[in-house]
Chain A
Amino acid sequence: MFKIIRREEMSQGNVILNEIEAPKIAAKAKPGQFVILKANEEGERIPLTMADTDPAKGTITIIYMVVGKSTALFKSLKVGDGFQDVIGPLGKPTHIEKVGTVVCVGGGTGVAVLYPITRAMKQAGNRVVAIIGSRSKDLLIMEDMMRAASDELIVCTDDGSYGHHGFVTDQLKVVMEREKVDQAVCIGPVPMMKFCSKLTKEYDVPTLVSLNPIMVDGTGMCGGCRVTVGGQTKFGCVDGPEFDGHQVDYDELMMRLQAYCEDEKRCYERFRTLHAAG
């Protein structure tokens, strides 16, 4: 069992942080890599990119939004409980090097994935401008951590309840207008990554995105995580999870993420009914 030693709720209880004992993974993991977690015997294998690791303590941190049965089950785990299985580190690490100015853009729980990359980009000697956004103030996560990990933090909310009123793309444009940007890293919901990449392309700024396709094994064995990048089929788990944002077929990715939507709804409904019945 992989024990949970810290648990926090964010974003009105919709987003959960778990710090988990996994010394072997913690010793190896690099920014951008993910783990697969399975709560119990009947559980599904869920891939999540790590938000932090502490090799000295032997822990990894994941932050996830509750969107269905499996994440609701994860949420029900308390400190001292554990995941039956945690597998990793999987995927290629982010390519970190000093390029000059890097803009790190995060939306929703994508900020959690962006955090270790932002920190590593700064440690590599880059000037880092971070832009994070959410629908409203209550849903914003990791503001302080992102501020500490960057040279400048810009916050925006869709409804204007905090920071700049509007989308992260608006602020990304402001930054690219005002200074020369050498690289962008954009992580969040697929439409956000799509529009960020469209924008950075106009300014000719190389852009990394981190994809979250449906997968089973995470080692290149099943091919369920197929994504089209630059007209070629790639496996999200072993060729990614990060890809050139200007090359990704986001519309196909969005469609493929819907493959099991009916089943997922049914499974979540059943869980909530059983849970309510105690």
Chain B
Amino acid sequence: MTEKEKKKKAARTPMPEQAPEVRRRNFLEVPTGYTEEMAVAEAQRCLQCKNPGCVKGCPVNVDIPGFIKLIAERNFTEAIRHIWSTNSLPAVCGRVCPQENQCEGLCVLGKKGDPVAIGNLERFAADWEREHGTGALPPKQPSTGKRVAVVGSGPSGLTVAGDLIAKGHDVTVFEAFHKAGGVLVYGIPEFRLPKAIVANEVNFLERLGVKVECNAVVGRTVSLDELFEEGYDAIYLGVGAGLPRFMNIPGENLIGILSANEYLTRANLMKAYKFPEVDTPIPHGKNVVVLGAGNVAMDSARTAMRLGADSVRIVYRRSRAEMPARAAEIHHAEEEGIEFFLLTTPTRYLGNEKGRLTGMECLKMELGEPDASGRRRPVPIDGSEFQIECDLCIVAVGSGANPLLTSSTEGLKLNKWGYIIADEETGKTTKKGVWAGGDIVTGAATVILAMGAGRKAADSIHKYLTFGW
């Protein structure tokens, strides 16, 4: 058997994780990470393709075979530095990227067996550096004297900051919340992405020279034009989508109905799962319903389970095949005892005399003809009404464009849904010196797509600062 054949036969190294019956009641991270031996064994499976598919699948084009080779050689210090040259947030990406649709989806080993566990290896390299690394920073270009304001400290903003600081520009990130990280901090739960890891990634950028200003609501505390007056040469807008959608059905303002944004912000940013050790409360539902079936819905459902719910149900109007969440998240949720009420839609909420939620009335659906999204349209079945008892409902049916900044800014063109119009290749908006990317341009998407948009915008901003608009 040749070396190549041996590699093809070696099984993918499974990620160790907390057992479902244990983790469903705690907030510790679910996957516990590769050991050095596991990482090296998994890295050795990589065929080191000359024309690697994985890199093409990565929105920020990480040199995946390159860093995996360094791990296989046990050169962990260089492995992480190799990733840093194209990705400032590897500890985050290794955990939350949908690798199955990106790098791993295009891995040649995946054609006949399991692809290389690229995400797990990226996470390993980042974690190894945090725990054992030298802390030595990657190289930086000499100062250009140009100043860039990045609005929003989520994945796209941090990517822009990381790219431009390395190119010698002076970068300040403005964050509306009291803590940096955007959706990585308020949205994604501790058990999927520990907040200490996000803080560490932000701290890495600060050590590179990025200034982070929290409690700065751009659009209120300061306007874009004022930032230009203060001497910023370019502005990147990565403010996220940030407007919760509700069902707009009767009874939605009963106590016990929260947007996923609110529920997760209380749990994650405010750490309300530690109440009363922290001061922010969060509702503890006995019977919880989560509306929607995306990643945010899974995060909400799994959070409710960890807060002690007796039952947690995902109510979704389409069927399993259309659920937008990552397969791994659905799998984790099911393992933890989350139930799925598919082809079901709520028609009204039911409450008691104190204005508290007691249940909801639902209709059964069936799939009809495909709609504009190409998915079969769910159609209500007449007379199929039934009731679900619940005392907490988390509405996770997507988000829209928050108008706080865009409505207070002259010269910024928006599309009919309120998202910022930006050039797909460069991120340039209709306002001179202003770029935008991430969810405020595309609508709610993934961390890595926002980072990809940030990468393109950073390249364009760099060109502008060097050669002009």
Contact = CB atoms under 8 A, between A and B. Distances in A.
B277 A42 contact: yes
B87 interface: no
B89 to A, nearest CB: 22
B246 A223 contact: yes
Contacts of B258: 223-224
Contacts of B279: 42-44, 69-70, 73, 267
A221 B244 contact: yes
Interface stretch (B4-12, B108-116, B134-142, B212-220): B212-220
Interface core residue of B216, B265, B279, B355 (most chain A CB under 10 Å): B279
Given A45-B280, A252-B355, A263-B281, A220 B255 contact: no
A222 B262 contact: yes
A86 B253 contact: no
Interface residues of A, number: 41
Given A255-B354, A263-B275, A267-B281, A88 B262 contact: no
Contacts of A238: 403-404
Interface in A244-270: 252, 255-256, 258-260, 263-264, 266-267, 270
A157 to B, nearest CB: 32
A44 B242 contact: no
Q: Which 7 A-B pairs have the closest CB atoms?
A: A255-B355, A222-B262, A263-B281, A44-B279, A85-B178, A42-B278, A223-B259
Interface core residue of A88, A256, A267 (most chain B CB under 10 Å): A267
B266 interface: yes
A217 B177 contact: yes
A25 interface: yes
Interface in B237-261: 242-244, 246, 252-253, 255-256, 258-259, 261
A109 to B, nearest CB: 20
Interface string B260-283: 011001100011000111111101
Contact of A216 (B265, B276, B278): B265
A219 B242 contact: yes
A226 interface: yes
Contacts of B278: 42-44
Interface in A207-248: 216-217, 219-224, 226, 228, 233, 238
A217 to B, nearest CB: 7
B187 to A, nearest CB: 10
A30 B68 CA distance: 56
B222 interface: yes
Contacts, number: 114
B262 A258 contact: no
B32 interface: no
A87 B354 contact: no
A94 B368 CA distance: 50
Interface string A155-170: 0000000000000000
B221 A220 contact: no
B265 A28 contact: no
A28 B221 contact: yes
24 contacts: A38-B178, A85-B214, A88-B217, A88-B221, A89-B220, A90-B220, A216-B262, A216-B270, A216-B280, A217-B177, A219-B242, A223-B244, A223-B259, A233-B253, A256-B253, A256-B255, A258-B255, A258-B355, A259-B283, A260-B281, A264-B281, A266-B276, A267-B275, A267-B279
Mostly, the B contact residues are loop
Nearest to B244: A223
Contacts of A272: none
Given A256-B255, A256-B355, A267-B275, A220 B281 contact: no
B265 A222 contact: yes
A24 interface: yes
Interface of B: 176-178, 214-217, 220-222, 242-244, 246, 252-253, 255-256, 258-259, 261-262, 265-266, 270-271, 275-281, 283, 354-355, 402-404
Contacts of B255: 255-256, 258-259
Mostly, the A contact residues are mixed
Contacts of A252: 253, 355
Contacts of B283: 259-260
A44 B221 contact: no
A14 interface: no
Given A44-B278, A217-B177, A252-B355, 9 more contacts: A44-B280, A86-B215, A87-B176, A87-B215, A87-B221, A89-B220, A220-B403, A222-B244, A233-B253
A134 B246 CA distance: 39
A217 B176 contact: yes
B402 A89 contact: no
Contacts of B403: 220, 238
A262 to B, nearest CB: 9
A140 to B, nearest CB: 30
Contacts of A90: 217, 220
Nearest to B177: A217
Contacts of B355: 252, 255-256, 258
Contacts of A89: 220-221
Contacts of A85: 178, 214-215
Contacts of B215: 85-87
Interface in A26-82: 28, 38, 42-45, 69-70, 73
B237 to A, nearest CB: 14
Nearest to B223: A28
Nearest to B399: A221
Nearest to A238: B404
Contacts of A221: 242-244, 261, 265, 402
A188 B222 CA distance: 30
Given A88-B220, A267-B279, A270-B276, A224 B262 contact: yes
A255 B253 CA distance: 10
A115 B194 CA distance: 45
A264 B214 CA distance: 27
Interface core residue of A28, A223, A233 (most chain B CB under 10 Å): A223
B281 A24 contact: no
Interface core residue of A42, A86, A88 (most chain B CB under 10 Å): A42
